Structure 1
């Protein structure tokens, strides 16, 4: 039903709320009084359309489409969309992203030098405040309708409000907490109070929300409440100074035991089911089975210059072909740093060390690192007369040789997979990482491409891994993760190719697996073997086989953080993760241009949260700016 809720969103193109609702968090959107509450809240069927408007607060930006009647003033409308701001604040500020555009305040985000008047931190605050306002108005007005179905709608609106406050608490720490319409200036709340509110709301609505998987696609069910509780409890020690890892394990377990499942349907037949999560038909190609909460987009019915339209267009530049991504052009702006790229690098030394002891049998040839003159690339003994090696090889030829002695070498005459003393050179058709085996008993061998992590979706042709200058698009690898094509390669519904159909999951099941593993490692009382098996479920999809599987000894906190990076990059969580690990502002972990220095430097810890907007402080004397700003 990309369905029914999307159609409802575009039909309800005017807001239905009283002007007073916007005083809740003191922002200045347009006057919404174009439609009366008597019309919208006449019955449950009409109220469902009003609920769609609350959902649309995270997806859209105005009253008529991508631009023209914005619902937040004083910033470019496309910039103000929630998921675009989420990328700016939670990905661009980290090792996951850089942007070449020079819009005032935008370069400051990656440089971690933003001021208290940054347009983008203000826009996110206003967007979240508006969702709270919309939710409060819906809850008050819909509560008067005498229909059992309304209780589900109210629970969904409370979830959306809790999700907005979760973001506000994470990003801004101490914000006003309002749960009803009021014209009075609200008092400032602290993180503990907001945490308690979000927690109590989610606990209270969990059994009112629809059962697992039974709601319309795009609307939340009780599993979404459990999943957000899992995320809330994982960050509790940072936000309120109290560890709640046991609770994180409990609610992560609830999610893992629900009807949601990892998508393993390789709908486009390219060898992995990971990319299906980010295609234009991800509401039907199997990806939807792991989407717990999504923000829906439609290139025809719900247009915005944010959302996945931004993620697709902005990541295309250089030698990239926009038609392969289902759009009409690239914006040549966003790409990533070497820190993310290197998280997918194969550690050949570690793989080889795990094989056994080094032997005198080796590979020689122009496909090897030292050419025909050697020295040989020595293999590792895995059993009696059994040898193996992980090796980076070039295209060319190779042979097996003992102790660098041409008097004892094997080749393959006839290229039939069997070895003969002094036989013909063995062809290596293309460069890459290979797993090579040698069986001296059977006189056979294999040279097999090593299965790499399919989540590494980078465009490197014409791109430099090192970033010398941020404005140049060619500095930094481009990301090919999001596309506006379906599993058959067809472009999205918008014929000119401007707007994307691809939905964006805010919470999906692999995150909960990773939450469970991290909380278990932090003392949450989970099952370590279960944590390992769940991580391996994610990695099985990534590698296409069990070559990427880990053991309990591999499961460390830093491994989980890196796995979160590999699985969830550009999905809006990286800053929160780095703050939780105390890596976001400290010198313990650096990336290019952190602190606005090419090599990266530590910055003040106050930047773990963003400043409250200047205009909000100016209109509400009850508020105090966050420390450091």
Structure 2
């Protein structure tokens, strides 16, 4: 009898075998909803640190610092142009200044370990489901495969390579060989293509549906030129069209609905990572974003539904400068920075008053009254319709087959008009505008580093931002920084792995 995962394994040695707990038959005898609970725990690996509250950890890393979503924000947003952090603790300075990266930085290890915690849990559950029959079997299998693909997507994007652990080689005792970026891309692509027709068109909020799978597939294709050297914007557009035309989503009437404590009511969010201020407390979900941008020194935290302010994160002019004069712009998104008591220029990223904290994410309700809490209950919108609209426009501008320029302009202007920004005309719609609009609309949502790399603006010196390369005005950084170094602990655990070039 196959054993069921305990959602507990060690990634120090890239072990792909979760610890034994009970058989599925035993668990189902005790609880007919056991599979649903296990699936829920698999979803939770992207937002929570562990099963027993904010101080518990699924992996042998710091429970507060290492959760998956916190890693996404650290590595996608703080390494890029829009957001910076002032704490500087043991490696965080290297992220916020995009400099001096090496294989010993714990923040690279945290995300790598989280990836290789989630993948074996998914593999084990898939192996079990091969020999056991449960309700909605194919749907459950599709969701597990999606979550595994999502973990691999971040491996591809951030680190490029690793071992390809699947349910087919599950339990292998010998160290697995290194899989290249192209091999991992092909695996994830095929997984998503396989499950896309099998996944339900609708599902419970917070669970993957067909549009969720399509969105990840579209993102994979959007970045295919970076990952494999072959641009595949036409394929991306196929799935973006499916999301827009068949997904039954619409833009929320107000931008802020998507980032408030009651954002589960938004018609725009395609796939959220769930948070609850009481039942799923974590220092790594949106608590990190909400509390990190607040401080009792300069603003009242309870205005944003929080009882704590960690005095840590601030945006730079590379983000709020895109709105022009914040005092006169009509764009509602420009109002989501705390300017009082803060300086426009970030002359010292360690100084709290240099730069504007972002109040885009908050724990207060948009249409309901919610109490202020220590932990955030705001869900993180990993995928939402506005992103799909902007992806459509980018694909059209990159000459994808099947797109329409007038439609692209319409989608962009729907986003802008929603926030009372001035509509643009066709002559203004170009790739530079799309990159800037993605910043105005999507910053702090885990996309920025990947966007800058895709547009050729992350490394080199053609685009500078405050503290890029550890200088106030920014300086060029090497192309090797388009990837993070493979953590030393992973290299030592599996000698088949090799370091990324330049480290």
* Cα distance in 2 for residues equivalent to 1:30 and 1:593: 42
Q: 2:9–2:19: 8 Å Cα contact kept in structure 1?
A: no
For structure 1, list consecutive stretches of 5 or more residues without a partner in the other structure. 1-14, 266-272, 347-391, 393-431, 434-449
1:141 aligns with 2:128: yes
Of the three residues 613, 617, 623, the one matched with 2:487 is 613
After superposition, residues 334-413 of structure 1 pair within 5 angstroms as: 334-345=313-324
1:316 aligns with 2:294: yes
1:331 aligns with 2:331: no
Corresponding residue for residue 162 of structure 2: 175
Corresponding residue for residue 355 of structure 2: 476
Corresponding residue for residue 188 of structure 1: 178
Corresponding residue for residue 418 of structure 2: 541
Return the offset for 1:613. 1.1
The answer to which of 160-169 and 34-43 deviates more is: 34-43
* Cα distance in 1 for residues equivalent to 2:335 and 2:158: 28
TM norm structure 2: 0.94
**Which string of whole-angstrom CA distances, capped at 9 and with x for unpartnered residues, describes residues 318-375 of structure 1?**
31101101111200001111110111115xxxxxxxxxxxxxxxxxxxxxxxxxxxxx
Return the offset for 1:294. 0.8
The answer to which of 145-154 and 51-60 deviates more is: 145-154
After superposition, residues 428-577 of structure 1 pair within 5 angstroms as: 433=328, 451-488=330-367, 490-492=369-371, 497-525=373-401, 526-543=403-420, 548-577=422-451
Q: 1:177–1:189: 8 Å Cα contact kept in structure 2?
A: yes
Please state whether the residue corresponding to 2:241 is helix, strand or coil. Answer: helix
Please state whether the residue corresponding to 1:479 is helix, strand or coil. Answer: coil
Larger fraction in strand: 1
The answer to which of 36-45 and 330-339 deviates more is: 36-45
Q: 2:491–2:499: 8 Å Cα contact kept in structure 1?
A: yes
* Cα distance in 1 for residues equivalent to 2:19 and 2:51: 10
Return the offset for 1:34. 4.5
1:251 aligns with 2:271: no
* Cα distance in 2 for residues equivalent to 1:500 and 1:18: 27
TM norm structure 1: 0.75
Return the offset for 1:185. 1.0
After superposition, residues 150-161 of structure 1 pair within 5 angstroms as: 150-161=137-148
Return the offset for 1:128. 1.1
Corresponding residue for residue 500 of structure 2: 626
Q: 1:260–1:509: 8 Å Cα contact kept in structure 2?
A: no
1:104 aligns with 2:90: yes
Q: 1:456–1:566: 8 Å Cα contact kept in structure 2?
A: no
Return the offset for 1:26. 3.7
**Which string of whole-angstrom CA distances, capped at 9 and with x for unpartnered residues, describes residues 547-574 of structure 1?**
6111221110010000110110100000
Return the offset for 1:453. 3.8
Corresponding residue for residue 90 of structure 1: 76
Return the offset for 1:501. 0.8
* Cα distance in 1 for residues equivalent to 2:66 and 2:222: 28
Corresponding residue for residue 297 of structure 1: 275
Of the three residues 164, 173, 187, the one matched with 1:197 is 187
Please state whether the residue corresponding to 1:98 is helix, strand or coil. Answer: strand
* Cα distance in 1 for residues equivalent to 2:360 and 2:324: 17
Return the offset for 1:485. 1.0
Please state whether the residue corresponding to 2:87 is helix, strand or coil. Answer: coil
* Cα distance in 1 for residues equivalent to 2:79 and 2:423: 31
Corresponding residue for residue 258 of structure 2: 277
Please state whether the residue corresponding to 1:505 is helix, strand or coil. Answer: strand
Return the offset for 1:138. 1.0
Q: 2:394–2:431: 8 Å Cα contact kept in structure 1?
A: yes
Change (3 A) 1:192 1:57: same
**Which string of whole-angstrom CA distances, capped at 9 and with x for unpartnered residues, describes residues 570-608 of structure 1?**
000000000111111110100111001111111111110
* Cα distance in 1 for residues equivalent to 2:210 and 2:186: 19
Corresponding residue for residue 583 of structure 1: 457
Return the offset for 1:248. 1.1
**Matched positions, count:** 494
Q: 1:299–1:499: 8 Å Cα contact kept in structure 2?
A: yes
Q: 2:346–2:466: 8 Å Cα contact kept in structure 1?
A: yes
**Which string of whole-angstrom CA distances, capped at 9 and with x for unpartnered residues, describes residues 17-56 of structure 1?**
1799767x94379974454444346697321211111111
Change (3 A) 1:283 1:169: same
Select the structure of larger CA radius of gyration: 1
* Cα distance in 2 for residues equivalent to 1:155 and 1:31: 20
Corresponding residue for residue 250 of structure 2: 262
Change (3 A) 1:235 1:153: same
Task: Indicate the RMSD between aligned Cα atoms, in angstroms.
Answer: 2.2
For structure 2, list consecutive stretches of 5 or more residues without a partner in the other structure. none
Return the offset for 1:143. 2.3
Corresponding residue for residue 226 of structure 2: 238
Corresponding residue for residue 437 of structure 1: none
Q: 1:89–1:109: 8 Å Cα contact kept in structure 2?
A: yes
Return the offset for 1:455. 5.0
Return the offset for 1:264. 3.6
Q: 1:230–1:247: 8 Å Cα contact kept in structure 2?
A: yes
* Cα distance in 1 for residues equivalent to 2:233 and 2:18: 44
Q: 1:327–1:491: 8 Å Cα contact kept in structure 2?
A: no
Corresponding residue for residue 361 of structure 1: none
